[in-house]
Amino acid sequence: MSEALPRTRTRGATRASQKAAAHARARAERGASPARGRGIALSRRLFAPVDLGTSVASVELRNPVMTASGTAGHGAELAGYVDLAALGAVVVKSLAAEPWPGNPAPRLRPTPAGMLNSVGLQGEGVERWRERELVDLLDRGAVVVASIWGRRVEDYERAARLLEGSPGVVAVEVNVSCPNVEDRSRMFAHSASATRDAVAASTAAGVPLWAKLSPNVPDITEIAGAALDAGAEALVLVNTLLGMAIDPVSGTYRLGSGPAGGGLSGPAIRPVAVRAVHDCRVAFPAAGIVGVGGVTCARDAVEMMRAGADAIEVGTASFADPRASAKVLYGLNRWCRLNGVERLRDIVGSVHQAGEDRP
Ligand SMILES: Cc1cc2nc3c(=O)[nH]c(=O)nc-3n(C[C@H](O)[C@H](O)[C@H](O)COP(=O)(O)O)c2cc1C
């Protein structure tokens, strides 16, 4: 298994372990036995083999780090920064059956701990994506998760049918955080029955379905239950939170979508995502769960996995640093070594075994 090791960090890690070993040797020569023991233990830990493999329901992944839909392009745009073949999977921008223009600019707005976006699901449609972007991703050895969206239930079915038989697509993420034009543009994800219908329609893709849910609901387990009943084998938690920004001087909307507002992402929403993962793990112990929302480093990923996520996706962090997903992966490997974790999947849901333990 290859891992995406950012160069400088690799050199840093090597220096650190060489230093630890040299330190241990020096102390051993002075006859300082307890520290010698510690030095050797640290060296052993730094070189211990780590199994980063995981599975999201029936889908086996080489490691739990994926890109989040819409934050890593439609295809191989991040390839200049990240070895896409080293990631668990690349989740691409949500695709509709037909090309879709998205919202007017401006589409992004920084916030104190993240950002607002109103991209509006711009895309060239499944067919062109299959011809152009998918081929490029597969050439680079990426494991691909396609994401689909629609404005009507039948749109999901059409997009799913167009994806059927796509080589290298291991799962379809069903993005239900989109306005349902047949229900006064209420989001599919805000209604258990609409989520059920959209997911059921997506089974036409013929690959495992992951339902990507919205956090803007009173009880996410109710929507999650409907998605699983309809045939999803995994939950992707969460999409952006509804947000808005207004210019205090001009009094106008900051985003081109105007009164429709945008979606908040980044570190500000991580606790919301952790809670959603936690509660859904309790409600659905056997479901695959992918945590997404504000993951910027390995420790964030570990938190998400301890809450119950089998895997994680890195989104907004890639805007600040396009190598973010590779760095999270590298950091997870290092975290496991330093903490004596031989199989990363062993920590999934560990907080639930902690029972009533509190700080
Ligand atoms: C610019 C932008 C575009 C996004 N586009 C999509 C999309 O097409 N489909 C989707 O399911 N989620 C989309 N998302 C949501 C992300 O995949 C992710 O769920 C959310 O941003 C939370 O993760 P983060 O805090 O790591 O970014 C988008 C997010 C951003 C910031």
Any idea which residues carry the catalytic annotation?
178
Tens digits of per-residue pLDDT, 164-200? 999 999 999 999 999 888 888 899 999 999 999 999 9
Q: How confident is the model at residue 120 (pLDDT cuts 50, 70, 90)?
A: confident
Is residue 100 domain-resident? yes
Residues of the domain holding 177: 53-353
Residue 349: partners with Cβ closer than 8 Å, 6 or more residues away: 281, 285, 305, 306, 307, 308
Q: How confident is the model at residue 102 (pLDDT cuts 50, 70, 90)?
A: confident
As separate numbers, helices (DSSP H) first and strands (DSSP E) second, the chain gives 12, 16
Is residue 326 domain-resident? yes
By most ligand atoms within 8 Å of CB, the mutation choice from 115, 239, 289, 312 for ligand 1 is 239
Integer Cα distance of 91 and 71 in angstroms: 9
What's the gap in Å between 45 CA and the centre of ligand 1? Answer: 36
Helix 324-338 vs helix 298-307: angle between axes, to the nearest 10 degrees?
70
**Residues 89 and 215 placed together within one structural domain of the fold:** yes
**Residues 32 and 163 placed together within one structural domain of the fold:** no
Helix 33-47 vs helix 324-338: angle between axes, to the nearest 10 degrees?
140
Angle at 272 between CA 351 and CA 183, to 5 degrees: 130
Phi-psi domain of 323 (left: phi exceeds 0; alpha: psi -120 through 50; beta: other): alpha
Is residue 121 domain-resident? yes
- Residues 67/313, Cβ–Cβ less than 8 Å: yes
* Candidate from 46-50, 196-200, 280-284, 307-311 with smallest mean pLDDT: 46-50
**Residues 63 and 144 placed together within one structural domain of the fold:** yes
**Residues 177 and 41 placed together within one structural domain of the fold:** no
Is residue 92 domain-resident? yes
**Residues 247 and 145 placed together within one structural domain of the fold:** yes
Is residue 359 domain-resident? no
- Residues 93/144, Cβ–Cβ less than 8 Å: no
106 pLDDT exceeds 60?
yes
**Residues 270 and 254 placed together within one structural domain of the fold:** yes
**Residues 268 and 171 placed together within one structural domain of the fold:** yes
**Of all atoms in ligand 1, which is nearest to the CA of residue 107?**
1
pLDDT average, residue stretch 138-145: 97
**Residues 180 and 325 placed together within one structural domain of the fold:** yes
**Residues 41 and 59 placed together within one structural domain of the fold:** no
Q: How confident is the model at residue 339 (pLDDT cuts 50, 70, 90)?
A: very high
Nearest partner of 169 among 91, 87, 221, judged by Cα: 91
**Residues 215 and 122 placed together within one structural domain of the fold:** yes
**Residues 34 and 60 placed together within one structural domain of the fold:** no
Residue 44: partners with Cβ closer than 8 Å, 6 or more residues away: none
Q: How many domains does the chain have?
A: 2
**Of all atoms in ligand 1, which is nearest to the CA of residue 94?**
8
**Of all atoms in ligand 1, which is nearest to the CA of residue 313?**
26
**Residues 318 and 269 placed together within one structural domain of the fold:** yes
Residue 293: partners with Cβ closer than 8 Å, 6 or more residues away: 215, 237, 238, 265, 269, 270, 272, 273, 274, 276, 315
What's the gap in Å between 70 CA and the centre of ligand 1? Answer: 5
Is residue 1 domain-resident? no
Please report, rounded to a whole number, the percentage of residues in the chain having pLDDT higher than 70.
86
The model carries a pTM of 0.88
What's the gap in Å between 81 CA and the centre of ligand 1? Answer: 19
Is residue 346 domain-resident? yes
